[in-house]
Structure 1
């Protein structure tokens, strides 16, 4: 049987594909754009929900893309078997639920609606499903949170350090990939939404400081005091949500993850290589 991966070129996919190949599973991976040849991986070109080529029988479907698109595709697709379905959502489904920014509340709603739609689509096929809700994911130079900050600081030789007492729990993309592999072999995770946080909770200010210390070149620290951040919330509406959460805890409870899978994600120890996109 074959494992189908949506988002194989994503940061989690970057670490998952080698793990799948090492397990001996044939791998199909879908990409919107042509991909370079990769030993053991058959790349298909297409996009959810409609533009997916014909598929062989599948043992599992793994997706790191939008949940609603996956649910829509499953609803209109005929599956010869009932493959295991594993998909990533985000802890933003919880942390942005009561945001003061309407656009962020909408993100939370879309994530929750996507989770519900996916569960319903899987039920129609008789597929066991698991949704993973990671916190801030890093580690492959492909994230849209810490990596842009690191690269901007390298260009400008200046690293803004916002004051922030709220706890953060960054999770390495390879740890999420390891969890996906474990879920494939754990029936007890079926029908569950699993929060995933990194192995360490640290204040937001310390998280940014560690990113700065990991950079391959020196940068000048630029402390941003609380009063300036409050001013920024009014002067820069697109940053209102992120700035308002600097003193809020954005964490996940890993108890269920550890009880079911016995996995403890690594602490946050960034290195310079983590801010470089893979070839």
Structure 2
């Protein structure tokens, strides 16, 4: 039986990771900003925040970080926590946004680079084996900031964008496949001190990805053609109105392929993600696991 701590346990990947660990017989500590209860003797929720002090932690076999990598790296560097194995979720944005025209996106890429460096240095100093997983676009738990917001707007307005000319390939990856990857690398010594790019089981044009999202919805929507110039103008207006989530650089990337070379992951730990065939359940806010 392993003792595991899961940070970001109520996020998209953490919600699928917890039941996998409990089913494997691990004794799991799960961190959440919201106080939560558990019906399983193997799952213990901790109420806290990485920016504040956490309750005293036992010696850990595995430390999983499923939240923002930069916050985790800062906490890990200063916290008196000991874990033989560290598995952390990063992002492919470390590469795709480093040359972005948007300074905020370039800053994100820089922070990810610095976080990976800090994490690796801290792990080496503590004699911990560390693996970083860099996923592409994540979906499946209804809490992502990429596809689910489109679904929410479609549910409200009953229209869905059809972006003409968006031919860049995408490789959306289900959060449960990433949870499975976390468990797999934690048990394989050959994955220590490695970084893996992880995408979904299918590469498809951006426009095709959106159409599959639309057809997965349990309600009717009207597909609305949106040429790239119109999309750029819409984002510009949203920025003027105060929206910081949408960047004009997003339009610049619609013609570029944002995919992962997951060959090393398939070879080293049998990574086998599902193709992108979403259903309506993918856009529901999955309730964090309680042990039931």
On whether the aligned pair clears a TM of 0.5, the verdict is yes
The number of equivalent residue pairs is 278
Distance (Å, rounded) in 2 between the aligned partners of 1:268 and 1:130:
25
Aligned to 2:199: 197
Corresponding residue for residue 290 of structure 2: none
Q: CA deviation at 1:219?
A: 0.3
**Mapped pair 1:278 → 2:286:** yes
Structure 2 residue aligned with 1:266: 274
> Among residues 238, 252, 261, which one is paired with 2:260 in the alignment?
252
Q: 2:271, 2:79 → 1: CA distance?
A: 33
Q: Say whether the 8 Å CA contact 1:171–1:198 is kept in structure 2.
A: yes
* 1:217 aligned partner: 219
2:9 aligns with 8
Structure 2 stretches lacking a partner, 5+ long: 240-245, 288-292
Instruction: Report the counterpart of residue 76 of structure 2 in structure 1.
Output: 74
| TM superposition shift of 1:65 | 1.7
Residues 134 and 270 of structure 1: CA distance in aligned 2, closer, same or farther (over 3 Å): same
C-alpha distance in 2 between matches for 1:266 and 1:83? 30
1:55 is matched with 57
User: Unaligned 5+ residue runs, structure 1?
Assistant: none
Q: Hey, what does 2:242 align to over in structure 1? A: none
CA deviation map 1:171-216 (0-9, x unaligned): 0000000100100111111111100000100000000000000000
Rate the CA distance shift 1:142–1:225 in 2: closer, same or farther, 3 A. same
TM-score between both structures, scaled by the size of structure 2 = 0.91
What is the CA–CA distance in structure 1 between the aligned matches of 2:156 and 2:37, rounded to whole Å?
29
1:262 shift after superposition: 1.4
Distance in 1 of aligned mates of 2:248 and 2:273: 30
Match of residue 114 from structure 2: 113
By how many angstroms is 1:57 displaced? 1.5
